A and B are shown apart, each in its own frame.
Chain A
Amino acid sequence: MSKARTWIVVVLSALMLTASAQTAQIDWRQSEGSTLVVGGIKHAYTAALEKLIPQFEELTGIDVHLEVYSQDEFMNKRLIDLSSGSGIFDIVMLDQAIVQYARAGWVDALEPYFEDPTLVDADAYGMDDYLPAMIGEGRVDGNLYGLPVTAAVQMLFYRKDVLADAGIAVPTTFDELYAAAVELNQPGKMAGILLRGQKIHSAWSSVGFVWSYGGRIMNDPVAPTAATFDSPEAAAGIAMYAKLLRDAGPLGAGNYTWYEALADFQQGKAAMYIDNAPFMGQIEDPKASTVAGKVGYAPMPAGPAGEYANSLAWMLSMSSSSKNKDAATLFLAWATGAQMALEIGQAAGTSARESFYASDWVGEHYPADWAETFVLSTKRANPESGFPRIVEIDEWLDIYGGAVNATILGTGTAQKNLSEAAAAMNRVLR
């Protein structure tokens, strides 16, 4: 290399190193002096964000207030604020309610902001890096309303020691799972399997079962108009879900939320547990769990129609009544962009970007079987959205979840409960 070239390389490298790793070709200080309020739930993600926000404030000169609440509280506050147009929150964390908020016009579609080259550098941002299942959760009616910041997928947690002692191989199908759960079930001491049973919580949890048996929740993945969860395939899936809990689940499973299930598993009261992959963090934490180091991670078992695990993502969205939308865009681009992904992901223990799970850090910090299973499960496309794309999402949780719950409690067969629920759901759909 000529001397000049060498110099250029050296200078450019120096510049890159000192530019605080933000290579996006935009003016980060364009909204200097404004204030942003970000509303979220108490979560490892927001804890991570809180620590890293000063970096953003220094970079942009924008003052950011992160307000964190418990989930129930936040859902009320978010609803009241965004629906009344008060504009207290500029950015909010959204879950399955995104469909409702998008169609009601309470959050803005992000394309106009993200396609503006003065606000977001598309190359630096890296939209393609997102796990397909996760970014799909943010799309409503063809537009992108939310950027995923966490990623969860159903996974099978099992006690390596318990299965080994009983000489049982890790189940790969639901029938194997059932057999193993029944054999390992010791009522009063250790349940064979844990699943969420409570009305609202069992909804998301059981959808993976429905898919695995060939059923579908709604008649259309993008703009559904009718419920289809009363099909014989769906009923078979729910029947298996209920059977597992009735024959090998803990006492009181009919009202178990993840609070109870996770706590039971952490205290060694169950042999197997199917739930959110990120719970691995709590399971492996010796300060909270007595079974740290004894747990194996496998994909959710397969049904007759294949292996389908449900996925879930929390997203960041922009309130349509925000008075600082440019500043909000800068924040969104920074917080969810590829450049901060690794740092935030490490602090939060979760990310919606593929690059995070391929990183060395994950390899060093997470059980190998977990990381492998996670990527495998999230790369598989979901046959429809994890939560139906309807505005009446909460009624779906109540009606469909109610049918699953009733089946678990033994009131009626799966088919009967689901048929009644589907009829009720169709009456509700406007």
Chain B
Amino acid sequence: MIESRIGSPLAGSTARNGRDRSTRRRSLPFVFLTPAFLVLLAVNAAPIVYAVVTSLQDYYLPFPAKRAFVGVENYANIFGDPRFWNSFKHTLIYVGVCITIQVVLGCFIAVLLSQQKRGVGFIRGVLLLPIIITPIAVAFLWRLMFSPSLGLLNYLLSLLGLGPFEWIYSPSQALPALILVDVWQRTPEMVLILFTGLLAIPDELVEAGKVDGANPWQLFWSIKLPVLKPFLMVGLLFRVIDLAKVFDVIYILTGGGPGVATETLSIYTYTTGFTFLRMGYSSALGLLLFALIVSLALLIIRWGEVKID
């Protein structure tokens, strides 16, 4: 793919000493890229291989002597396992709803913030608090706030005359409750990423739009959003990846319950491995989760036209 970009390193610029730069191999990319790449490779290679090998075995932890190679049997069983499909469904719903809310709300708040003249630093500080506080503590806190009898939420709602909810204690309300927690904790992250992006928008562009009579909505949609898009897409990419992996918060709030009403693939992978001790099956589930995440990421890169080449 040849792109003639102005100022492209390959466009024949010459150094003072007359040597043509374009013919000399630039060392920078190699020097800058290799260390990071090596670190990642060294750290992750062996565990991935181990996980793959384990997923092809029947390995019940209490009886390691009976560990045996079974090929793709684990995977075949997974596809016939209704609990797997249940957790798969929950993962998709959780990721889908959370990211939609976080993006929309994130954009909205980021724009509001960018139009704020005073107190921006302070507001950004407040916004950071939900991200800073340890997720474990957040999970326990929300668990208490969700308590139908002792929780803050039902209390506040009762002041508005709204009936007591069961939140995480009801199979139908539990997943929405979990989504609420993630939205609370992670929307600020989107806001901050987008806000930084909004700052990069040149003033002239916005002014020109205003002179043309555009209202704030049009300003946002036609002028700001296109410039914001790369940041939005990267932010979205990482959020989706993290959402699909979520484990500790869900584990503490509901443990996947009531019943299996909030069991995501992450939780199910953990349960089959650490609780039921079926390591082969658990590895296979984990790798499927990995595959799911990779697929979602590729989808976003394709759809969001994230430039990676």
A-side residues, CB < 8 A to B, are 72, 75-76, 79, 83, 100-101, 103-104, 106, 188, 191, 198-200, 250-256, 260, 263-264, 267, 269, 391-392, 394-395, 398, 402, 405-406, 409, 411, 430
Q: Is the CB of A79 within 8 A of B274?
A: yes
Sorted from nearest, which 6 A-B pairs have the closest CB atoms? A252-B169, A104-B62, A251-B148, A255-B169, A252-B148, A252-B166
How far apart sit A106 and B271, CA to CA, in the bound complex (Å)?
21
Which residues of B are found within 8 Å of A263, using beta-carbon distances?
147, 150
Which residues of B are found within 8 Å of A398, using beta-carbon distances?
271, 275-276
Q: Is the CB of A254 within 8 A of B171?
A: yes
Task: Pick the residue among A103, A188, A251 that contacts B166 (CB under 8 A).
Answer: A251
Tell me if B114 counts as interface (CB < 8 A to partner A): no
Q: Is the CB of B148 within 8 A of A250?
A: yes
Q: Which of B61, B64, B164, B271 has the most CB of A within 10 A?
A: B61
Which secondary structure characterizes the binding site on chain B? Answer: loop
Q: Is the CB of B271 within 8 A of A269?
A: no
How far apart sit A263 and B144, CA to CA, in the bound complex (Å)?
10
How far apart sit A79 and B276, CA to CA, in the bound complex (Å)?
11
Tell me if B259 counts as interface (CB < 8 A to partner A): yes
How far apart sit A146 and B8, CA to CA, in the bound complex (Å)?
73
Q: Is the CB of A394 within 8 A of B276?
A: yes
How far apart sit A260 and B174, CA to CA, in the bound complex (Å)?
16
Q: How far is the CB of B164 from chain A (nearest CB, A)?
A: 6
Count B-side interface residues using an 8 Å CB cutoff.
Answer: 29
Task: Pick the residue among A104, A267, A411 that contacts B150 (CB under 8 A).
Answer: A267
Which secondary structure characterizes the binding site on chain A? Answer: helix
Task: Pick the residue among B64, B169, B251, B271 that contacts A254 (CB under 8 A).
Answer: B169
Which residues of A are found within 8 Å of B88, using beta-carbon distances?
none
Task: Pick the residue among B147, B167, B257 that contacts A405 (CB under 8 A).
Answer: B257
Q: Is the CB of A199 within 8 A of B148?
A: no
0/1 string, B249-276, CB within 8 A of A gives 1: 0010011011110000000000100111
Q: Is the CB of A255 within 8 A of B257?
A: yes
Tell me if B170 counts as interface (CB < 8 A to partner A): yes
Which B residues, 202 to 233, have Cβ-Cβ distances below 8 Å to chain A?
none
Q: Is the CB of A76 within 8 A of B150?
A: no
Q: Is the CB of B150 within 8 A of A83?
A: no
Q: Is the CB of B150 within 8 A of A100?
A: no
Nearest A residue to B270 via CB reads A76
Nearest A residue to B260 via CB reads A402
Q: Is the CB of B150 within 8 A of A264?
A: yes
Task: Pick the residue among B150, B171, B255 that contacts A200 (CB under 8 A).
Answer: B255
How far apart sit A317 and B257, CA to CA, in the bound complex (Å)?
31
Q: Is the CB of A254 within 8 A of B276?
A: no
Which residues of A are found within 8 Å of B259, using beta-carbon distances?
199, 402, 405-406, 409, 411
Known: A79-B274, A104-B62, A198-B257. A409 touches B150 (CB 8 A): no
Task: Pick the residue among B61, B149, B255, B275 that contacts A251 (CB under 8 A).
Answer: B149
How far apart sit A155 and B149, CA to CA, in the bound complex (Å)?
23
Which residues of A are found within 8 Å of B255, using beta-carbon distances?
198-200
Which residues of A are found within 8 Å of B170, using beta-carbon distances?
252, 254-255
Q: How far is the CB of B256 from chain A (nearest CB, A)?
A: 9
Nearest B residue to A395 via CB reads B276
Q: Is the CB of B164 within 8 A of A188?
A: yes
Q: How far is the CB of A153 from chain B (nearest CB, A)?
A: 25
Which residues of B are found within 8 Å of A405, using beta-carbon distances?
257-259
Q: How far is the CB of A249 from chain B (nearest CB, A)?
A: 11
Tell me if B63 counts as interface (CB < 8 A to partner A): yes
Q: Which of B149, B171, B174, B251 has the most CB of A within 10 A?
A: B149
Tell me if B56 counts as interface (CB < 8 A to partner A): no
Which residues of A are found within 8 Å of B166, using beta-carbon distances?
251-252
Q: How far is the CB of A312 from chain B (nearest CB, A)?
A: 19
Q: Is the CB of A394 within 8 A of B277?
A: yes
Which residues of B are found within 8 Å of A199, using beta-carbon distances?
255, 257-259
How far apart sit A47 and B242, CA to CA, in the bound complex (Å)?
38
- 10 A-B pairs within 8 Å (CB atoms) are namely A72-B251, A79-B274, A83-B61, A83-B62, A83-B64, A254-B169, A260-B147, A394-B275, A405-B259, A409-B259
Tell me if B168 counts as interface (CB < 8 A to partner A): yes
Which residues of A are found within 8 Å of B60, using beta-carbon distances?
430
